[in-house]
Amino acid sequence: MELQKINEDSFDSFIQSDEPVMVDFYATWCESCKAMMPILEKIVAENENIKIAKVDIDENRGLVEKYGLKSIPTLMVFQKGELKETSIGRIPKDKVLELLSK
């Protein structure tokens, strides 16, 4: 499995999962975002039950406004459509997994 790229149209259906799912808000020009991508890709590759999607903030301004994003990368964990956890900035693999397990 790989990271899914979602947008404003597919966002709501993605976060309506019974299991926790993570959304990575990123930008192609963001160096910290680029550093997070291999970590997230590795987690998804190693764990078939973990779902992580990425949202390009430059292409999805409505989501940026809806969630009041001020910095990237921002990782948000949702379950049944409800925001459960948020992390801002680059974090190591173990912290990403910890966010998903809360």
Residues marked active site are found at 30, 33
Query: Helices marked H in 1-102 — which ranges?
Result: 8-15, 31-46, 61-67, 93-101
Contact 24, 73 (CB under 8 A): yes
- Cα distance between residue 46 and residue 93, in whole Å: 12
Residue carrying structure tokens 């969630």 = 67
Contacts of 71 (CB under 8 A, 6+ apart): 88, 89
